[in-house]
Each structure stands twice: as structure tokens, then as C-alpha cells.
A and B are shown apart, each in its own frame.
Chain A
């Protein structure tokens, strides 16, 4: 009985089968192409705009209204130290977030997955509920927290209001519920026996976490780091709210500062800064594309 169930798959696909498969594939590709077209057009415009004085639709226009008028003037900002400062701030925020979220999520996720302690269930449901709150709702409360932190001697200068550290701290806190839940999920999937074996082999609980368990959740940690880095790199609302002036502005905030209320905005220059901001991410994606696909497709496989 079982053999007849398996057989159809073992037989080579007939002609009818093949055409069907082909059509299915065509349909899938058609759908994909159609759905990414608007995005592709958007990016095409972005690139063209950065090297033109003026655009009409996707077409660059020169002063006479003809096609042309290419210029590199929009990119003049790369010689301005302000943008490099903004980029450094973006990088600091993103890296601080990757480190902070990575450490707290792997440690917290492990504890929540493996240990029994009072309030574990409550904590789990609370973090989930907190994650549902939008950051905007908390802005005013966070402002007071940062003001308070700023009053702490010495370290207050690095983590208070209007500091890169303060922004990073807030961003880490907002990212943690997701990070902890994600890492808890990865730890939940690991077998207990491996941990027991290590305890019997002579490892302490901390060593088990560090040497045995962490290497198994590396793909999960890589994915979380990536999400966190992107969230930090593109952070706007929190840095915008808790920083003043250009010194502590990160890239998105700097971009916003280009759009002035009083003078006419050079949109092509704004586009160039936007593209400039994307370059690190693009490079990053190109190199980690394969790894990312593995993470999405295979979970913790590939050890």
C-alpha cells in the first residue's frame, strides 16, 4: 500500500506535468517581478536624482528642459565634516545596540528558556505586552529617565539627554523584548542532554552557556545582530527626540536637518545623502546575502 503512494514521485515527470510546472514557475516569477517593480522604480529614481540638477519623473533635465544636466554637485556634502560626524554617530548607536542587545538577549533568553525562578512567566508576558507599545507612547517618560541619568556624576555625561550613549541606551531597551524572545526561542530548541553532558564533564553553568550553548545559537544571534544593526543605523524617532543640534545627530536626523523650513530644499542633495546612508547597508547585504538566506531557511542548521 505504501509503495503505490510513493511511486508517482519516483516516475519521471510526464510532458503534462512538465508544462504545468513551467507555468507555475512563470506565474511565480511574474508575480514577484510585478510586486517589486514599484520599489525598483523608486530606487532607480533615487540614483538618477543624486546625479542630476533636476528630474522630471525618471528623466534628468538640464536648464533648457532637455535630457541631461548631470552633475556631482549633490555629492558635495562628502567633504563636509558634519556628515562624517553623523555617520560616526549612526555607527556608534548601531554597534552599541548590536553589543548591548546581543549580550542581554542571549543571557536573558537562556535564563528564560532554561531556568526556573519566581516571576518567570510574568516577565515573559510583560515583555511581550511592552513590545506591543509603540515607542512614541513612551517618549516623554523616557525623557525624564534620560534627564535623571544625566544627573549621575561622570557617566551621566555619556548616557544622559542629548548624548549618543543615551540614545543607544533607549534604543537597546526598546529592542530587547524582541531580542529576548527571539533568543529564548532558539535556546528552547536546543536539547537538554548536551547541556547535561557538559555539566557532567565538569563545566559550570556559566561555562555551559558560553562554550556549549552559545555556539549552537550563533545563526540566531547573527540574525538578531543584523536586525538590530539596521534598526540602529536607521533610527530616527529616538535620536531626533533626545538630541539637539548637529553634534550628536545621526544620519537620519542629519538628513532631516537638510530639509529646512526657511530656505528652499535641494531635494537632489537630500536624495544623495539618503543614498550615501544606504551604502554601508548595501555592502553589508551583498556580503551576507547567502548567510541570511541560510538563517531564514534553515534555522539553527549548519553547525
Chain B
């Protein structure tokens, strides 16, 4: 089912939940709403579900405006962060509830519930009480309850946030596979950008009720249109520096009191329109650790002192102070960087991002 959200807004006397959101979701796609907590993801989702009434704008399912349609008539299934199971019913009671409300035949219900439960791997738990299940099992029940009525649209509100890291990883894969196999259009709300990046066909990045970007994951990562998107997507986050762009004998340089880098002409020229300081962004992985022997071209290296070393397992996240400016870089563990070490970094300047600090818009990707 194609879902079109147009200029959708919600506010409660003065408090803005969602502000003029426009998103077009193609049939069968999974779209993630990504943003920090309180940015309006749940608000938008609940409007799609029909729980909140929009204060402005429209929601259409397959071209039909559904603003006034009751939640139960929207053909949706929803999975909540808190699972929202009915604690006084058994697993069977929970999964069968939507079907019982439809007054389906008893035998039919039994068969459908069993099928969904088997699909979720909880087929042998149907007689259990909810309180006797682990968090992961509860979320499977919740998923089963959403799927059993064969919805046209699946809504997820941070479904994995309450699970431990390991389980989150398995469930992530399972939900994605299920969604692809069944081909159900889905909206997946999360504040975890890795979840969004790995699961979604497209990501809607939100901040303070406003849609910041709506694009495929790679585009958000490689070509962020706003400073917020650049800073929010990617882990560890992008480093930002205030620099001025200067051109000297045919070379463009990004300069500040702390750094001086030669940057590619095609990117620099786009920033020429802005006078004074601009914001330059560099991802931690676009900076490599230089051995003393390596000879990177002049103007492509930075030198500094390691101030923080956080082992991440395979790599170390090193906070480097470059003439007083903080920068995070990922360094191979085998380099054995210690706090206080002097470090030379080679910058992959072809990946750098440039932003107008006033408008916070990208200068590269209009």
C-alpha cells in the first residue's frame, strides 16, 4: 500500500509535535523515521495510525485520504516499544484478539494464530501467560498480533529499544526479512541510526518536528543536505571545524588557526559564494593514521596529540587535539595509540563536507 503524507502537522496548544511533514512511501517499502527523542517520530506515526488527529495536512493510503478513518478501519498493524500486550490474556489470547473482534470462525482463528506464531518462533508458547515470557518473546507476540490480521501497513515504534544488544541484532534481521518476504509497506521509528541504515529502504530524518531529509541511506551518509543530518547519521559522528576557504596559486585551502588543509577544487568552488567562516565536516573513518615513514602530500596531513583512547574492539576511537581543536578518528588497534602520543593523520579530503553555518544547509548538495 502506498502511503502519502502531505504537509502533516500536529500541535497541542503551542507545543509542536510534527511540523509540515511530507513523505511519500512507495508500496512495499520500509521507511525509517530517524531522529533524537522528542523530535516527533511517534507523533507522526500515531497520526498515520489514526490515534492522533492531525492539526493540518493529509494522510493518504493508495490515493484515498484517510484522515477521518478510524484506526481499526485503516488495515494497519502496530508494534510498540513497550510491547503493549494485554497482560490478562494468554499468548493465544493476545494474538487472536484482532481476529476475535472480527468475529471470525473459531477454527479459522486457531489456524491463523498457529501459523503466525510458528512464523514468529513462538508456536509452542501459545498457552503461556505474558508475564512468563522474556522481553524478546513478548516482542515476538506483539509482532504476531500485528501480523495476524494481514495488515496493509506495519507500524513499528522503536520495537527493539527494550531488548539487549544481542537480541536487538537478531530481531533486526528477522523483522527485515519478514517485511521483505511479506512485502508489507512499513514505517519503522527509531533513534538508532544503525537500525535505520540497515533496515530501511529510505530514511526520513527528523529534528524538532521538522523533516530534515528523506532519502536512501547511502545518500544520507555520503551527501548529507543539512548539518543536522551530517551530524546525526554516522557513528562515531562526523567532526566539524570552522574554517575559511582561500585560494592561493590555484590551490584551495581550508584554514583556521588550528588547521590548514588543501581541499579538492570541485568542492571548494561550491563554497566560494559564502564569505567568511564555513563549517567543514570530516567523518572519523576518512582520516587515516600515518606512520612516520608514510609520505602523504603536503597539506593533506594534520598533527596532534592523542587525548582520549576508547577501545571499540577492532578499532580504537581516538580523540586527537589538533592545536586545541578536538577531532575523533578511528585507528587500527594494532597501532597501539596511547594517550599523550603525537599523531600524524592523513585526511581523505575528497570526502569532506561543507556547510553554511548560518543556514546549516550543505554547500555541496543543494
Which residues of A does B touch, CB under 8 Å? Answer: 191, 193-194, 196-203, 207, 212, 215-216, 303
B87 contacts the other chain (CB 8 A): yes
**Interface stretch (choices B94-102, B119-127, B317-325):** B94-102
**Contact indicator A303/B80 (Cβ below 8 Å):** no
Q: Which of B51-76 contact A (CB under 8 A)?
A: 51, 70-72, 74, 76
Q: How far is the CB of A93 from chain B (nearest CB, A)?
A: 31
Residue among B74, B88, B102, B145 with most chain A CB within 10 A? B88
> Within the assembled complex, what's the spacing in Å between the Cα atoms of A182 and B74?
36
Residue among B50, B51, B84, B102 with most chain A CB within 10 A? B84
Instruction: Identify 5 residue pairs between A and B in the complex whose beta-carbon atoms are under 8 Å apart, listed by A's number.
Output: A196-B80, A197-B85, A202-B149, A215-B86, A303-B88
Binary interface encoding of chain B residues 36-55 relative to chain A, with 1 for a CB under 8 A from any of its CBs, else 0: 00000000001001110000
The residues of B that contact A212 with a CB separation of less than 8 Å are 86
B7 contacts the other chain (CB 8 A): no
Q: A200-B77, A201-B72, A201-B101 are in contact. Are A193 and B82 (CB under 8 A)?
A: yes
> Within the assembled complex, what's the spacing in Å between the Cα atoms of A201 and B145?
8
Residue among A199, A200, A215, A303 with most chain B CB within 10 A? A200
B194 contacts the other chain (CB 8 A): no
Q: Which residue of B lies closest to A300 (CB)?
A: B87
The residues of A that contact B76 with a CB separation of less than 8 Å are 200
The residues of A that contact B84 with a CB separation of less than 8 Å are 191, 193-194, 196-197
The residues of A that contact B101 with a CB separation of less than 8 Å are 201-203, 207
- Nearest 9 pairs of A and B residues by beta carbon: A193-B84, A202-B101, A202-B72, A197-B84, A215-B88, A201-B98, A303-B87, A193-B80, A200-B71
> Within the assembled complex, what's the spacing in Å between the Cα atoms of A216 and B89?
11
The residues of B that contact A201 with a CB separation of less than 8 Å are 72, 97-98, 101, 145, 149
The residues of B that contact A303 with a CB separation of less than 8 Å are 87-88, 131
Q: Which residue of A lies closest to B145 (CB)?
A: A201
Q: Which residue of B lies closest to A201 (CB)?
A: B98
Residue among A194, A201, A207, A212 with most chain B CB within 10 A? A201
> Within the assembled complex, what's the spacing in Å between the Cα atoms of A198 and B94?
10
The residues of A that contact B302 with a CB separation of less than 8 Å are none
The residues of B that contact A193 with a CB separation of less than 8 Å are 80-82, 84
B91 contacts the other chain (CB 8 A): no
Q: Which residue of A lies closest to B74 (CB)?
A: A200
> Within the assembled complex, what's the spacing in Å between the Cα atoms of A245 and B233?
82
**Contact indicator B72/A191 (Cβ below 8 Å):** no
**Contact indicator A216/B145 (Cβ below 8 Å):** no
B78 contacts the other chain (CB 8 A): yes
**Contact indicator A199/B87 (Cβ below 8 Å):** no
Q: How far is the CB of B150 from chain A (nearest CB, A)?
A: 13
> Within the assembled complex, what's the spacing in Å between the Cα atoms of A197 and B83?
9
> Within the assembled complex, what's the spacing in Å between the Cα atoms of A198 and B72?
9
Q: How far is the CB of B100 from chain A (nearest CB, A)?
A: 9
> Within the assembled complex, what's the spacing in Å between the Cα atoms of A198 and B78?
10
> Within the assembled complex, what's the spacing in Å between the Cα atoms of A196 and B52?
10
**Contact indicator B87/A197 (Cβ below 8 Å):** no
Q: How far is the CB of B75 from chain A (nearest CB, A)?
A: 10
The residues of A that contact B81 with a CB separation of less than 8 Å are 193
Q: Which residue of A lies closest to B82 (CB)?
A: A193
**Contact indicator B88/A191 (Cβ below 8 Å):** no
**Contact indicator A202/B102 (Cβ below 8 Å):** yes
**Contact indicator A200/B87 (Cβ below 8 Å):** no
Q: Add 18 more A-B contacts to A191-B84, A201-B145 (CB < 8 A).
A: A193-B80, A193-B82, A194-B84, A194-B85, A196-B46, A196-B84, A197-B84, A197-B85, A199-B71, A200-B77, A201-B72, A201-B149, A202-B72, A202-B101, A203-B101, A207-B101, A215-B86, A216-B87
> Within the assembled complex, what's the spacing in Å between the Cα atoms of A223 and B273?
73
**Contact indicator B72/A197 (Cβ below 8 Å):** no
**Contact indicator B88/A216 (Cβ below 8 Å):** yes
The residues of B that contact A202 with a CB separation of less than 8 Å are 72, 98, 101-102, 149
> Within the assembled complex, what's the spacing in Å between the Cα atoms of A216 and B98?
19
Q: Which residue of B lies closest to A214 (CB)?
A: B88
Q: How far is the CB of B128 from chain A (nearest CB, A)?
A: 14
The residues of B that contact A200 with a CB separation of less than 8 Å are 49-51, 71-72, 74, 76-78
Residue among B50, B81, B86, B98 with most chain A CB within 10 A? B86
Q: Which residue of B lies closest to A303 (CB)?
A: B87
Q: How far is the CB of B151 from chain A (nearest CB, A)?
A: 9
The residues of A that contact B77 with a CB separation of less than 8 Å are 200
Q: Which of B16-36 contact A (CB under 8 A)?
A: none
> Within the assembled complex, what's the spacing in Å between the Cα atoms of A201 and B79?
11
Q: A196-B49, A196-B78 are in contact. Are A203 and B88 (CB under 8 A)?
A: no
**Contact indicator A194/B86 (Cβ below 8 Å):** yes
Q: How far is the CB of A238 from chain B (nearest CB, A)?
A: 36
Q: How far is the CB of B281 from chain A (nearest CB, A)?
A: 36
Q: How far is the CB of B206 from chain A (nearest CB, A)?
A: 20
The residues of A that contact B98 with a CB separation of less than 8 Å are 201-202
Give the contacting residue for A197; candidates B70, B74, B80, B88; CB below 8 A.
B80
The residues of B that contact A198 with a CB separation of less than 8 Å are 86, 97
> Within the assembled complex, what's the spacing in Å between the Cα atoms of A194 and B85?
6
Q: How far is the CB of A234 from chain B (nearest CB, A)?
A: 33
> Within the assembled complex, what's the spacing in Å between the Cα atoms of A255 and B76?
63
> Within the assembled complex, what's the spacing in Å between the Cα atoms of A216 and B85?
12
> Within the assembled complex, what's the spacing in Å between the Cα atoms of A201 and B49?
11
The residues of A that contact B71 with a CB separation of less than 8 Å are 196, 199-200
The residues of A that contact B142 with a CB separation of less than 8 Å are 197
> Within the assembled complex, what's the spacing in Å between the Cα atoms of A200 and B77?
7
> Within the assembled complex, what's the spacing in Å between the Cα atoms of A197 and B77?
9
> Within the assembled complex, what's the spacing in Å between the Cα atoms of A212 and B98?
13
The residues of B that contact A191 with a CB separation of less than 8 Å are 82, 84
Q: How far is the CB of A208 from chain B (nearest CB, A)?
A: 10
Q: Which residue of B lies closest to A199 (CB)?
A: B71
Q: How far is the CB of A157 from chain B (nearest CB, A)?
A: 41
> Within the assembled complex, what's the spacing in Å between the Cα atoms of A59 and B81?
67
